Amino acid sequence: MTREQRHHPGTQTERRGFAEVMTRPVPDDVTTRTTTLGGRPALEFVPAAADARRGRLLYLHGGGYVLGSPHTHAGLVGELARRARIRTTSLEYRLAPEHPFPAAVEDGLAAYRALLDGGTDPRELALAGDSAGGGLAIATLLAAREAGLPQPAAVAVMSPWTDLTLSGDSISSKEEIDPVFTADRVRTFADRYLGDRDRTHPLASPVLADLTGLPPMLVQVGSYEMLLDDAVRLAGRAGAADVDVTLQVWPRAPHVFQHQYGHLDAADAALDRAARFLAARLEAPR
């Protein structure tokens, strides 16, 4: 445990609890190995049926920028990789409060740059993420655009957290039916990630950013989520910026319901749709 982590013992307890609840096994036909990417630890997933023509996927896990790791999300990422038949790398970006904004964005950008510098054609590269990781995927692409880097072939986000100002109507209108969050809980995550920093910064709240030039985008969300408006407004702003965007809203589904694959039909259907979306963009004619 680092010195910074010792200063936040409650966070460490929360992370252990999150890991116990969230972690599911990797599919049998997907192999994993630890690696590094952009100077950060990462977990690589290689499906037995991986298709070399489908390039690479960079995945950014959820957890409010405070919780989670590639291991807590290994089951979900392995399922997505298996269904899409795409070699996937899940990044262990730095977490708050030890490493507040913009540390996660810096790590996402460094990983993306490392893939490009390593010879990956951007047309054969996609990004994906869930919850805070979905917002981070969009922020990473915005940072890449500002750095003059080419955009990838696609980005797919599940229940993305894109507005850390908490200005969406669904923060209040869906609070009573959201089985995962309360407004206070979401606000606490924002506080730990941003502190006194500007919550309207486009890399903190990418739904407020100019999304011009971003790649084809898939946005999935459940109708029972407090973050419903984060997803709907992201898709709307992307469309207004001439981005090819697909929004899929599942009725009566909770936050990142895709984690319930194998138990919830909607979860399996959503993962299949995300896999088809990614595979189609990565196999598009050059």
DSSP 197: S
Task: Report the candidate in 94, 115, 96 with the shortest Cα–Cα distance to residue 38.
Answer: 115
Question: Under a CB-based contact definition with an 8 Å cutoff, are residues 129 and 158 in contact?
Answer: yes
Q: What is the pTM of this model?
A: 0.96
Q: What's the pLDDT score for residue 5?
A: 46
Kindly state the percentage of the chain with pLDDT values over 70.
Answer: 96
List, for residues 226-282, the tens digit of each pLDDT value: 999 999 999 999 999 999 999 999 999 999 999 999 999 999 999 999 999 999 999
- Which value, in Å, is the radius of gyration of the alpha carbons in the chain? 17
Fold that domain 3-282 belongs to in CATH: Rossmann fold (3.40.50)
Question: How is 77-99 classified by DSSP, letter by letter?
Answer: HHHHHHHHT-EEEEE----TTTS
Binned at pLDDT 50, 70 and 90, residue 52 comes out as confident
Burial 215-239 (b: 16+ CB within 10 A, else e): bbbbbbbbebbbbbbbbbbbbbbbe
Question: For the chain, percent helix, then strand, then coil, each to nearest 5?
Answer: 40, 15, 40
Reported as a pLDDT band with limits 50, 70 and 90, residue 283 is confident
| Nearest Cα residue to 227 out of 128, 278, 157 | 157
| Catalytic-labelled residue, pool 106, 159, 225, 259 | 225
Q: Is residue 71 annotated as part of the catalytic site, yes or no?
A: no
Active site residue 176: no
Active site residue 167: no
- Given the residues 69, 90, 131, 170, select the one marked as catalytic: 131
Terminus-to-terminus CA distance in the chain, angstroms? 47
**Mean of pLDDT over the chain:** 95
| Nearest alpha-carbon partner for 139 in 100, 105, 115, 106 | 105
